[in-house]
Amino acid sequence: MQVANQIRDILTEQFAPTELQIIDDSSKHAGHSGADPRGESHFSVLVVSEKFTGENRVNRQRLVYGALDSLLKDRVHALALKTMTPGEYKSAPENRT
């Protein structure tokens, strides 16, 4: 199974996100330290979930890192996170329609 799909499955199960974006940034890091020749080692992830309500940014990220612990130890070298509640996501200027 592809790493991005594993990330999607884990985060969907743990956080029931209303919005989930996973971007594989590995090609930008080819040849750099930590780049895995198999690819899929660097990701940018947006998770929007009610489970983040009442949690500060650091705690939200700890929750996500905890959920992805096994992948972070074995396969993922870098993970850029953006964690929001549905209300925060809806009111963000870049997400207004």
Average the pLDDT over 76-89 and give the result. Answer: 92
Q: Is the pLDDT of residue 27 over 80?
A: no
Task: State residue 42's pLDDT score.
Answer: 80
Alpha-carbon distance of 9 to 5, in angstroms, equals 6
Domains and CATH numbers, the chain: 3-95 (3.30.300.90)
Which candidate, 10, 73, 3, places its Cα nearest to that of 43? 3
Structure-token pair, residue 97: 């329609």
Residue 76 has pLDDT above 90, yes or no: no
Short-list 84, 82, 64, 62, CA closest to 18: 84
> What are the CA-CA distances from residue 68 to residues 18, 31, 40, 90, 94 (Å)?
18, 24, 14, 26, 27
| pLDDT confidence bin for 50, thresholds 50/70/90 | very high
Average pLDDT over residues 12-31: 85
Looking at residue 34, its pLDDT comes to: 52
Higher pLDDT, 1 or 48: 48
